[in-house]
């Protein structure tokens, strides 16, 4: 399998590239080269890959999204911070190619999502959603916190940024005489890498149009 990584030069992208290069199913990992004529160069590359992964900074995928649609290549999008208009473009692309997108591919947050409908039905008096990330993270609040806020639209939101790597999300539900707290903490970027790799193989093996924006 030949896989392209958009954003391979970033911290998550470099970890993802290293993980993919260790997999026996992957014969080549292709990072996009930043040359003056890179769109033409990438066009030729996309035509010959099996799938692509986007872990670029805000909006990086849109330079190449039409090419993925033209060549009908599966795409995993793990970047965040999209505007409503950009989200609509991704939704439209999801009707043309196998595409999966998530603000957080970690297994723990995936499980978190299954609990949200039940938690939202509790007779809470107050809900606090909090997160902590490295201060290099571009979008504030993160896509994960925005997702949690959609489940609890009246919740108080607290955002922390620190000079070192951290990825924590906490839901605190105050029920009067008791408090329920759920916390997810990713100890390294490998927590996200594992989920992205799993999504890659799933979308390539199923070959279905699986647009997913949790």
Domain range summary for the chain, segments of one domain joined by +: 2-104+191-206, 107-185
Q: What is the mean pLDDT of residues 14-18?
A: 95
Confidence of residue 213 (pLDDT cuts 50, 70, 90): very low
State the DSSP string of 162-176.
ESS--EEEEEEEE-S
CB 28 within 8 A of CB 36: no
Same fold, 2-104+191-206 and 107-185: no
Percent of the chain with pLDDT over 90: 71
pLDDT bracket for residue 139 (50, 70, 90): confident
Question: Is 107-185 a CATH 2.60.40.10 domain?
Answer: no
Rounded Cα distance between 197 and 55, Å, is 12
Q: Is the pLDDT of residue 140 over 60?
A: yes
| Residue range 163-200, pLDDT digits in tens | 888 899 999 999 999 999 999 999 999 999 999 999 99
- pLDDT at residue 214 greater than cutoff 50: no
The CATH number of the structural domain formed by 2-104+191-206 is 3.40.50.720
**Contact (Cβ atoms closer than 8 angstroms) between residue 20 and residue 44:** no
The Cα–Cα gap between 29 and 204 comes to: 15
pLDDT at 45 over 50: yes
Kindly report the backbone phi and psi dihedral angles of residue 111, in degrees, each rounded to the nearest multiple of 5, phi listed first. Answer: -70, -40
Average pLDDT score over residue span 107-121: 92
- Mean pLDDT calculated for residue range 16-44: 81
Cα gap 10→55, rounded to integer Å: 8
Average confidence score pLDDT of the chain? 89
Q: What is the pLDDT of residue 36?
A: 45
In this predicted structure, what is the pLDDT of residue 40? 58
């Amino acid at each position: 399998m030949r896989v392209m990584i958009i954003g391979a030069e970033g911290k998550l992208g470099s970890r993802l590239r290293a993980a993919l290069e260790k997999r026996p199913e992957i014969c080549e990992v292709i990072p996009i080269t930043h040359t003056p004529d890179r769109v033409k160069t990438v066009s030729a590359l996309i035509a010959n890959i099996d799938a692509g992964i986007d872990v670029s900074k805000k909006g990086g995928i849109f330079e190449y999204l039409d090419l993925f649609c033209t060549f009908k290549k599966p795409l995993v999008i793990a970047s965040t911070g999209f505007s409503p208009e950009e989200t609509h473009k991704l939704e439209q692309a999801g009707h043309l190619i196998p595409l999966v997108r998530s603000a957080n591919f970690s297994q723990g947050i995936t499980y978190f999502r299954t609990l949200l409908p039940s938690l939202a039905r509790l007779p809470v008096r107050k809900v606090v959603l909090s997160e902590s990330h490295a201060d290099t993270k571009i979008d504030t609040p993160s896509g994960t916190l925005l997702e949690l806020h959609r489940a609890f639209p009246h919740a108080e939101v607290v955002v922390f940024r620190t000079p070192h790597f951290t990825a924590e999300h906490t839901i605190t539900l105050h029920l009067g005489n008791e408090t329920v707290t759920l916390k997810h903490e990713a100890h390294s970027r490998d927590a996200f890498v594992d989920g992205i790799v799993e999504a890659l193989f799933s979308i390539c093996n199923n070959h279905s149009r699986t647009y997913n924006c949790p």
